[in-house]
Structure 1
């Protein structure tokens, strides 16, 4: 895996278990990333969970608006994948149980292209009744 593959890395970090990730530590030790979990019927809680994790883990700088803004757009793009383009959860009587990853890197060889951020969600979505959900995944990538 190339260092530039931030989307691919985000998908791997969110779908692989800790044991599976431990199989290739040399390839990921230089990657700036974080992971977390969120479950909710409230879209804002999902967004806030990712933003909080990214800030606490030093993936973005809290005091730089452009970094928070880039993360926000990557989150929205990833949520569109999870919700199949309908940016609503609770309003549509559905709930999500998601793992997420945030990866920051340089997907282009030219230094002037700058840093980018990738957000990936993987988990379940469905009616707020245990057992009636199905798998879902979404990936969003945005320039910082």
Structure 2
């Protein structure tokens, strides 16, 4: 029996891996489509825009299809809630983020009718905008397309 594809686990792992660690896990990523990137900002909109732009440029979602862009947006926001501990603010509360992100698109259910889903994971640092005073944070969002 085929194992269920865990797009959230894959996205979180990808966001946390350094380039030197990637090859050890590469076979896990064969059944999904992925997009990776980095963003650092005190502006929440810049974080959202960086992920959306990277995903659209990679072809992971079809830009002209509203439901795909809409699903991606809500998934990004859900992942950011984990990073910001439920307070969707960074610069307004005098904190900054330095994040790696991974976006994974796949079919996590055996039943074909369940369709495709998207996962966004962030891993990095958040804290006062003073170098060295940040701490690690991780966030994950998953949504159907």
TM score, norm. by length of structure 1? 0.95
Q: 1:81, CA displacement in angstroms?
A: 0.1
- Structure 1 alignment gaps of length 5 or more: none
Match of 1:23, SS?
A: helix
State the distance in 1 between where 2:118 and 2:56 align. Answer: 13
Tell me the residue number matched to 1:14: 15
Tell me the residue number matched to 1:27: 28
Matches within 5 A, 1:90-109: 90-109=91-110
Cα 1:30–1:107 shift into 2, 3 Å: closer
State the distance in 1 between where 2:5 and 2:28 align. Answer: 12
Tell me the residue number matched to 1:139: 140
State the distance in 2 between where 1:71 and 1:9 align. Answer: 17
User: In the alignment, is the contact (CA less than 8 A) between 2:90 and 2:96 conserved in 1?
Assistant: yes
User: In the alignment, is the contact (CA less than 8 A) between 1:3 and 1:31 conserved in 2?
Assistant: no
State the distance in 2 between where 1:26 and 1:132 align. Answer: 36
Shift >4 Å, 4+ stretches: none
Q: Could you report, residue by residue, the CA deviation over 1:92-132 in whole angstroms, capped at 9, with x for unpaired residues? A: 00000000000000111111011000000000000001011
Cα root mean square deviation, aligned = 1.1
State the distance in 1 between where 2:64 and 2:106 align. Answer: 19
State the distance in 1 between where 2:119 and 2:48 align. Answer: 14
Tell me the residue number matched to 2:87: 86
